[in-house]
Chain A
Amino acid sequence: MVLTNEIIKEKLNEKFPGVLVEWGEPYGLLTFRAPAELNMKVMQFLYDDETLCFRFLTDLTGVHFPDRKGEELSVVYHLHNLKDNIRLRMKIYVPVERPDVFTATQLFSAANWMERETYDFFGFNFVGHPNLIRILNVDEMDYFPMRKEYPMEDPTRVDKDDEMFGRGGTIV
Chain B
Amino acid sequence: MTEHHIKLSEESLQKETTTLNLGPTHPATHGVFQNIMEIDGERVLDTVPTIGYIHRAFEKIAERRPYYQITTLTDRLNYCSSPINNMGWHTTIEKLLGIKIPKRVDYLRVIIMELSRISDHLVCNSVVAVDTGALTGFTYVFQFRELIYEIFEEVCGSRLTTNIGRVGGFERNFTVAAFTKLKKFMDTFPKTMKEFENLMNRNRIFMDRCIGAGPISAERALNYGFTGPNLRATGVDYDVRVAQPYSSYEDFDFKIPVGTVGDVYDRYMVRNDEIWQSYSIIKQALEKIEKIEREFPEQKEIFYAPEADHFHLPPKEDVYTKMEALIYQFKIIMGEIDAPAGEVYHSVEGGNGELGFYLVSDGGRTPYRLHFRRPCFIYYQAFPEMVRNGFFSDAIITLSSLNVIAGELDA
Tell me, yes or no, whether A binds B: yes
Q: Is the beta-carbon distance between B342 and A57 smaller than 8 angstroms?
A: no
| Interface residue? A109 (CB, 8 A) | yes
Given contacts A113-B377, A152-B64, contact A165 B2 (CB under 8 A): no
> Which of under 10, 10 to 19, 20 to 34, or 35 or more describes the interface residues of B?
35 or more
Docked pose: A20 CA to B42 CA in angstroms: 53
A78/B222 contact (C-beta < 8 A), A136-B51, A136-B410 known: no
Could you tell me if A56 and B225 are in contact, using CB atoms closer than 8 angstroms? yes
Residues of A149-166 whose CB lies within 8 A of B: 152-153, 164-166
**Interface: B243 (CB within 8 A):** yes
Out of B59, B344, B410, which one reaches A26, CB within 8 Å?
B344
A167 touches B60 (CB 8 A): no
User: Taking the complex as formed, is A55 at the interface, i.e. its CB lies under 8 A from any CB of chain B?
Assistant: yes
B55 beta carbon closer than 8 Å to chain A:
yes
Q: Known: A110-B381, A165-B335. Contact between A26 and B342, CB under 8 A? A: yes
A3, chain B: closest CB distance, angstroms: 14
Q: What sequence of 0s and 1s flags, for each residue 151-162 of chain B, a beta carbon within 8 Å of any chain A beta carbon?
A: 000000000000
Q: Which residues of B342-373 are within 8 A (CB) of A?
A: 342-345, 347, 354, 356, 358, 360, 362-366, 368-369, 371, 373
Residues 131-155 of chain A: 1 if any B CB is under 8 Å from the residue's CB, otherwise 0?
A: 0000111111000011000001100
> Which of B64, B238, B381 is the one whose CB lies under 8 Å from A112?
B381
* In the complex with contacts A76-B358, A87-B345, A108-B223 CB distance below 8 A: yes
A5 to B368, CA, bound (A): 27
Q: Is A51 an interface residue (CB 8 A)?
A: no
Known interface pairs A137-B52, A140-B1; A63-B238 also in contact (CB < 8 Å): no
Flag whether B63 is at the interface (Cβ < 8 A).
Answer: yes
Q: How far is the CB of B406 from chain A (nearest CB, A)?
A: 12
Q: Is the CB of A78 within 8 A of B64?
A: no
B74 to chain A, nearest CB (A): 16
B13 interfacial by beta-carbon distance below 8 Å? no
User: Is A145 a contact partner of B57 (Cβ separation < 8 A)?
Assistant: yes
Q: Is A37 an interface residue (CB 8 A)?
A: no
Question: Bound complex: CA of A85 vs CA of B354, how far in Å?
Answer: 14
Contact across chains for A166 and B60 when beta carbons are under 8 A apart? no
A and B contact pairs by CB, cutoff 8 A, 7 listed = A57-B225, A58-B373, A63-B369, A82-B243, A110-B224, A139-B2, A166-B364
Other A-B contacts than A58-B225, A166-B366, 8 sampled, CB-CB below 8 A, are A26-B344, A58-B373, A59-B345, A112-B381, A138-B52, A145-B57, A165-B66, A166-B365
